[in-house]
Amino acid sequence: LLVAKINDRTEPTGSPTNGTDYGTISLLDIFGFESFTVNRFEQLCINYANERLQQKYVGDNFQAIKSEYEGEGINVFDFSLIDNSHVMELLEGKLGLITQLNEECVKKNGEDENFVYKFNLVNSDSSSLIQNPLHRNYEFAVRHYAAPIKYDARKFIERNLDKIPADLLKCACKSTNPLIRDEFQQLTTKLEAPKSGGPKKRSEATKHFVVTKFRQQLTSLMSLIEDSRTRYIRCVKPNKSSLPKIMDHTHTVSQLESAGLVTAIIISRESFPNRLSYELVLERFRFLSYKFEDCQLGRGNVRKDAEELLNHLLKGISADTHSGKEKAFACGK
């Protein structure tokens, strides 16, 4: 309510003098990935949002490189290290967590344990779902991009329904503050309105659930980000006590790993930092071929000439990757 009112009052009105749309500069500040001793509905929503943002980050920084390498016929780095599409499928797929939670909430007497049982059952083949026989019947675990997390599903149904107690609703309708009173009176009128005959469609029955609204808002946010030039700023807390000039290395490295930066560095080291055309390689480095008697150039094929030259110049040099020693360069199509 407050956010909607503030947005209405601060939104620019009218149109610019030149007839073009307003440009925007937006700052998205979001909680980092959360993992506590007990993780509940709120942690699930926050980590779900982080998964969506991680998917955008991967697309911006690595998808283009992957497509370029595949187009050139070069062996691609292990994209599975950073690809979290399987996690997103588990969370928002046709049989994913959001669907199973909403279906249990639609039932008259839905239970958290039933939601967990069905979610584990229909997604048993997912690599992102952690099946542990030691889990209680209200617990489930997800292998997120940052770390595996175990969730406590107790009160998931209650929090997803987000029903306002009737006595609290009546009290708010009698408020002396006109803003509060008018809004809650409108809400009461909607809740008391007679329902149309016939069974509701599932989309109609679930549209007011918290996780559904959260997903819609997140999708709208991602659409806005897709239409923008994006810059990423990773904030790292140097110590848990918020004290100056103190660096807790264990705490800091843990944040870097959770943010996916360590994996990003691994991928960057496995890719090639410089991309030159064969013609440019020959133009810049042909003069060095005089050092090698057996370096035969000028055969009419620029690719073979460039590969011949680089084989001699970079002989004995290799790159260390997670899969072992690799050639220091690669020639595409």
- Encode pLDDT of 67-115 as tens digits: 877 877 877 677 777 789 999 999 999 999 999 999 999 998 899 999 9
Element (H, E) at 5: helix 2-10
Tokens 């107690």 correspond to 165
Convert the pLDDT of each residue in 255-297 to its tens digit. Answer: 888 777 777 777 777 777 777 888 888 889 888 888 888 888 8
What does the alpha-carbon distance between residue 327 and residue 333 come to, in Å, rounded to a whole number? Answer: 17
- Grade residue 311 by pLDDT with cuts at 50, 70 and 90: confident
CA atoms of 244 and 1, how far apart (whole Å): 39
How many angstroms separate the Cα of 209 from the Cα of each of 184, 215, 290?
A: 18, 10, 73
Q: Which two tokens stand for residue 274?
A: 């410089």
pLDDT at residue 86, as a whole number: 94
Q: Specify which of 3-17, 144-158, 182-196, 197-211 reaches the highest per-range mean pLDDT.
A: 144-158
What pLDDT, on the 0 to 100 scale, is given for residue 138? 97
Contact (Cβ atoms closer than 8 angstroms) between residue 74 and residue 332: yes
> What's the confidence (pLDDT) of residue 19?
54
At 17 the pLDDT is 54
Confidence of residue 199 (pLDDT cuts 50, 70, 90): low
Mean pLDDT value across residues 296-305: 83
Closest of 243, 241, 239 to residue 253, by C-alpha: 239
Provide the β-strand partners of residue 39: 151
Task: Render pLDDT for 21-59 as a digit per residue (tens, 0 to 9).
Answer: 677 788 888 777 888 999 999 999 999 999 999 888 888
Alpha-carbon span 216 to 52, nearest angstrom: 12
Residue whose token pair is 């500040």: 29
* Rounded average pLDDT over 224-246: 89
Using alpha carbons, select from 157, 104, 97 the residue that is nearest to residue 126.
97
pLDDT at 185: 87
Name which of 84, 49, 100 is nearest 214 in CA terms.
49
Residue 253: CB atoms within 10 A of its CB come to: 13
| pLDDT bucket at 219, cuts 50 / 70 / 90 | very high
Average pLDDT over every residue of 118-142: 95
Residue 325 sits at φ, ψ, to 5 deg, of -75, 130
Extract the tokens encoding 168.
Answer: 């609290």
Tokens standing for 226? Answer: 């897709």
3-state SS of the chain: helix, strand, coil percent to 5? 50, 5, 45
pLDDT confidence of residue 324: 55
DSSP string, 186-215: HHHHHHHSPPPSSPPPHHHHHTTSHHHHHH
How far apart CA 270 and CA 286 sit, in angstroms, is 27
pLDDT at 39: 97
pLDDT at site 319: 64
Q: What pLDDT shows up at residue 323?
A: 56
pLDDT of 139 over the 80 cut: yes
CA separation for the pair 110, 118 (Å, rounded): 12
